[in-house]
Each structure stands twice: as C-alpha cells, then as structure tokens.
C-alpha cells in the first residue's frame, strides 16, 4: 500500500480506474494514463458490470491522439491478484459496489458524469464526450500527486 510520500523513486504506481460498465470514463482514464504518464503509472481499467468500449469514447480519444480501440471492457475480478497502489472509482455506482481489496492500496472516489447518458443531437452528445475526455485528461495530468489530496 502507498502511504504518505508515495512510491519509491523510479517505481511506477499501479492504478485501477473503476467504473460501472468499463465502457467510457474508465477506458478514457486508462488511455490518458498510458499516453501521458506511462513513466509513472501502470494503468488498468475495469468495471463492476462490464459491457463494451463505447465507440464515441474511442472516437473522441482518437481525436485527441490517443488510441483506445484495442482496449476491452473487463470485470474487476479479471484483475484479481494485482496489488494496486490506488483504486479510483469514477462513478457513484462503482464506488458503492467496488470490491474490497484487502491489504492493498488507497481507494478514492473521483466521480465524472457519464457521457453515455447524454441526449440531444450528435454534436451535443459528442460535446459531452469531449468535455468528460478533457476533464479526465486534466485529472490524469495531475497524477500521481493529486491522488493523495
């Protein structure tokens, strides 16, 4: 488990981004962490009720230069045995249903609205996906320092 000062110099943090379906927010967060912080973070994503990677999440990440098209939706149980430094829940449902990771890292809740629930024209829905993508990028850019705050 990480405490106070964080991981030893040169060691990468293992971070799990957890959401309900592992379709959008957690996939984008994993993509950003791999693209921006692979020197400091070993990123994973999963869901408590996985389904698919949403095509609009893939699209808006591609627009930003990050390819998440090879990522797949997985259940958190598929990652059993990995000692995470941090488990970051990105939605309220995942926070309430998150399994316990005994003796492992710090768990925290950082909710982001679900762009899959956006309604309106295609342009309006894409705008919501882009907004969440950009806020997730800002969150990941502050990692790992912002995880202990």
The pTM (predicted TM-score) of the whole model is: 0.88
**Overall number of domains in the chain:** 1
Phi-psi region of 4 (alpha: psi -120 to 50; beta: other; left: phi over 0): left
3-state secondary structure the chain: CCCCCCCCCCCCEEEEEEECCCCCHHHHHHHHHHHHHCCCEEEEEEECCCCCCCHHHHHHHHHCCCCCCCCCCCEHHHHCCCCCCEEEECCHHHHHHCCCCCCCCEEEECCCCCHHHCCCCHHHHHHHHHHHHHHHHHHHHCCCHHHHC
Q: Does some domain include residue 49?
A: yes
Q: Does some domain include residue 119?
A: yes
Q: Does some domain include residue 6?
A: no
Domain residues for 123? 13-148
The CATH number linked to 66 is 3.40.50.2300
Q: pLDDT tens-digit profile of 64-117?
A: 999 999 999 999 889 888 889 999 989 877 667 666 655 567 888 899 999 999
Q: pLDDT tens-digit profile of 120-147?
A: 999 999 999 999 999 999 999 999 888 8
Q: Does some domain include residue 70?
A: yes
Q: Does some domain include residue 112?
A: yes
Q: Does some domain include residue 8?
A: no
Question: Which residues are annotated as catalytic?
Answer: 19, 91, 98
Q: pLDDT tens-digit profile of 72-87?
A: 999 988 988 888 999 9
Mean pLDDT of the chain: 87
Q: Does some domain include residue 143?
A: yes
Q: Given this model, what pLDDT does residue 70 score?
A: 96
Q: Does some domain include residue 4?
A: no
């Amino acid at each position: 488990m990480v405490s106070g000062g964080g991981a030893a110099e040169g060691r990468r943090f293992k971070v799990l981004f957890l959401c309900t379906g592992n379709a959008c927010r957690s996939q984008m967060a994993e993509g950003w962490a791999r693209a921006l912080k692979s020197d400091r973070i070993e990123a994973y994503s999963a869901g408590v009720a996985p389904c698919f990677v949403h095509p609009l999440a893939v699209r808006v990440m591609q627009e930003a230069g990050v390819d998440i098209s090879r990522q797949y939706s997985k259940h958190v149980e598929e990652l059993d045995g990995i000692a995470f430094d941090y488990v970051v829940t990105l939605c309220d449902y995942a926070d309430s249903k998150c399994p316990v990771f005994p003796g492992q890292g710090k768990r925290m809740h950082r909710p982001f609205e679900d762009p899959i629930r956006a309604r309106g024209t295609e342009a309006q829905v894409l705008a919501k996906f882009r907004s969440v993508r950009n806020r997730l990028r800002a969150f990941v850019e502050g990692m790992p320092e912002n995880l202990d705050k």
